[in-house]
Structure 1
Amino acid sequence: MIRPEAEITEDMILTHWQLEKELTQKLLESNPEKRWEIFEQSYSQLYRDLNWLNDLTKQTRSDPTWQFAIWTAAIGLPPQTIYEIGSGKGDLIAYLSKQGFDCKGTEITRERGEQHVVNQPNLSWGNSDGIHLQQFEPAAHYNVVISCQVIEHLHPEDLQAHLRGCAAILEPKGRYIFSTPHRFTGPHDISAVFKYDLAQGMHLKEYRYSELVAALKQVGYRQICCPLPPVVQRLTQFGLQPQRWGEAYLQLMLGLEALLALIPVLSLRRTVAKALRRLLVFRDNIFLVAQKI
């Protein structure tokens, strides 16, 4: 996300919009055989032509312990091996490596990733297509695979292949933990600036909980739940099981989502969803933990 105080001109926004529209068309029209090449070229062009995006991207808060609390609570304690898909500027994976986890960050383009994090212990870097991870990593090698704001950038045809790729490099009972913007509070890409109701830019598809839970089950994941918000996590101190609370929280999200889906006008649905978010009973982002069998 761009810092609110960042100085952005109208020309910068229009240039960004035109480029994203052109690149989005290429990405959506790409065939599976050429897709990695086209995605790598497109994202390299985006960050090369609009290099101010890297400069204006929000930096980690002064207290990353607070910012990444929900991630560390979901992951658990080290030692564990963690593989991140789409590490961006590397804030999350660098923080986890400092906590003692054995980490690998990855990106589809060399315009992001390793160049932003230098000489970090417990952290290695690589490139991948973000889909066929078994072609880049050993089978059953990692305890945890994570992605933060990545799935919405994948071609919609590749969702199940992506989930299978994550499962392939996870050890038995390993977990895929990820966040992605919820469609009902979006769009969450540059489309929002131009008042679109659905993403038109390089968020190729923004999802619902129900879609992702169904896809995870089809691939064979089990024990799917939501990581608990930090406030709710405190309840586990009183002997309440985090897994059960996470499953109950997911059912709450699915129920609210089903009710919101009954609102036919997208702008009104978004308004109601954001009102529920302000009441702390809905989220802008889907956040899921899924365990490999």
Structure 2
Amino acid sequence: MARPSSILSALPIRAALPVSTKGFAGSQGMSQSRMSASHATARERGAMHDRAHSPMRVAPRGDETPTAYPLREHYLIERELADRLRSAPRSERGALYSELYDELFRRVPYHPMLHVGDLPQREHDITRPLRLLRSFLTCESVFMEIGAGDCALAMRAASLAKQVYAIDVSEEITRSVVPPGNFKLILSDGCSIPVPEGGIDVAFSNQLMEHLHPEDAGEQLRNIYRSLAPGGAYVCITPNRMYGPHDISKHFDQIATGFHLREYTAREIRKLFVDAGFAEVRFYASARGRFLRCPYWVIAALESTLGALPYPLRKRLAYTKPMRAVLGLWVAAIKKEAL
């Protein structure tokens, strides 16, 4: 899903179309429009403004030729498929997760998850969470990534752990994976965690929780909990709703309507983890590659304050770097040690 780092998660980025995942209106193209507009008539300037702000954006990166990225087409397709998943009964959703994501990638072949965009950014997307994971991993650890996507992080983790399991719902992204010897790729229905019970020391997901149907999130968490050994940790990264939405609908809506089926606050995430059985839920602030434990009450107080503000002001304030460093929802949930 971000990676989507997956299909299950959102770590965006795979092979090579010149499409950036960082912003669909490039500064170079916009500056050229503004230069031309200075010599245009009022009608021409209006037409330029419409093009610059149209859902058909341009996504240049570096010295690449700008490439048209049909935002609205992507949005309408993803929303249509996401609505099918939202309205589906539990008995049908297991098969639908894989089916609808595969359909999305067939109907949106220019999707950023299918193509390498900014390679330095992609490397950052891998090495940044690995910095946090290193504090939980040892050479004897069994590691599991749920929503592994292109499996880049999971394969990198294979050099740090004894055994690695990578779980995802779609074969479309994972077809080209060539794994190391201690790596195993497993396809899932989106909720099940088909690994030995109590056999995982460290579980990880990046941009996964928000892709699950709200009714399935608790079930998957309970399955992850069962898969963990006593004292094991589940490291979860998910976007905070306070400065969302974070899927394709961010260009059109005030709440997520694409494949982010639900975005959460820290308060909601904490309750889900406690209800699943975790003994401790830790929150981390992330800045400049470092991770510091952040008291839950600090994040909850910020969310309460921001939640009382009108949407435009709330998003503007919450999206500042200091706020995102605290609100970004880097979570480690710990299973109780055996008695």
TM tier relative to shorter chain: 0.7 to 0.9
Matches within 5 A, 1:156-195: 156-194=214-252
Q: Say if 1:70 and 1:229, in contact at 8 Å, map to a contact too.
A: no
Task: Please give the alpha-carbon distance, in whole angstroms, between the structure 2 residues aligned to 1:163 and 1:217.
Answer: 10
How far has the Cα of 1:174 moved from its partner? 1.2
Task: Select the residue among 191, 194, 207 that pairs with 1:149.
Answer: 207
1:201 aligns to what SS in structure 2? coil
How far has the Cα of 1:262 moved from its partner? 2.2
Task: Please give the alpha-carbon distance, in whole angstroms, between the structure 2 residues aligned to 1:167 and 1:92.
Answer: 21
Task: Please give the alpha-carbon distance, in whole angstroms, between the structure 2 residues aligned to 1:218 and 1:160.
Answer: 8
How far has the Cα of 1:26 moved from its partner? 0.5
How far has the Cα of 1:229 moved from its partner? 3.0
2:141 matched to which residue of 1?
A: 80
Task: Please give the alpha-carbon distance, in whole angstroms, between the structure 1 residues aligned to 2:272 and 2:134.
Answer: 24
2:178 aligns to what SS in structure 1? coil
Matches within 5 A, 1:208-219: 208-219=265-276
TM-score normalised by length of structure 2: 0.74
How far has the Cα of 1:69 moved from its partner? 4.2
Distance 1:116 1:208, change over 3 A: farther
How far has the Cα of 1:218 moved from its partner? 1.4
Total equivalences in the alignment = 274
How far has the Cα of 1:84 moved from its partner? 1.1
1:288 matched to which residue of 2?
A: 331
2:7 matched to which residue of 1?
A: none
Distance 1:149 1:279, change over 3 A: closer
Q: Decide which moves more: 205-214 or 166-175.
A: 166-175
How far has the Cα of 1:78 moved from its partner? 2.4
Q: Say if 2:233 and 2:334, in contact at 8 Å, map to a contact too.
A: yes
Q: Decide which moves more: 74-83 or 16-25.
A: 74-83
Task: Please give the alpha-carbon distance, in whole angstroms, between the structure 2 residues aligned to 1:228 and 1:268.
Answer: 22
1:9 matched to which residue of 2?
A: 68
Task: Please give the alpha-carbon distance, in whole angstroms, between the structure 1 residues aligned to 2:200 and 2:153.
Answer: 17
Task: Select the residue among 266, 271, 288 that pairs with 2:316.
Answer: 271
Task: Select the residue among 170, 180, 185 that pairs with 1:120.
Answer: 180
Mapped pair 1:262 → 2:290 = no
Identity of aligned residues (%): 24
Structure number with the higher helix fraction is 1
1:256 aligns to what SS in structure 2? helix
Task: Please give the alpha-carbon distance, in whole angstroms, between the structure 1 residues aligned to 2:85 and 2:187.
Answer: 18
Query: What residue ranges of structure 1 are gaps of 5+ in the alignment?
Result: 235-244
Mapped pair 1:251 → 2:297 = yes
Higher Rg of the two aligned structures: 2
1:32 matched to which residue of 2?
A: 90
Task: Please give the alpha-carbon distance, in whole angstroms, between the structure 1 residues aligned to 2:74 and 2:96.
Answer: 18
2:255 matched to which residue of 1?
A: 198
How far has the Cα of 1:291 moved from its partner? 1.0
TM-score normalised by length of structure 1: 0.84
1:70 matched to which residue of 2?
A: 131
The residue type equivalent to 1:106 in the other structure is I
Query: What residue ranges of structure 2 are gaps of 5+ in the alignment?
Result: 1-11, 13-19, 23-59
Superposition RMSD in Å: 2.4
Task: Select the residue among 190, 193, 205 that pairs with 1:130.
Answer: 190
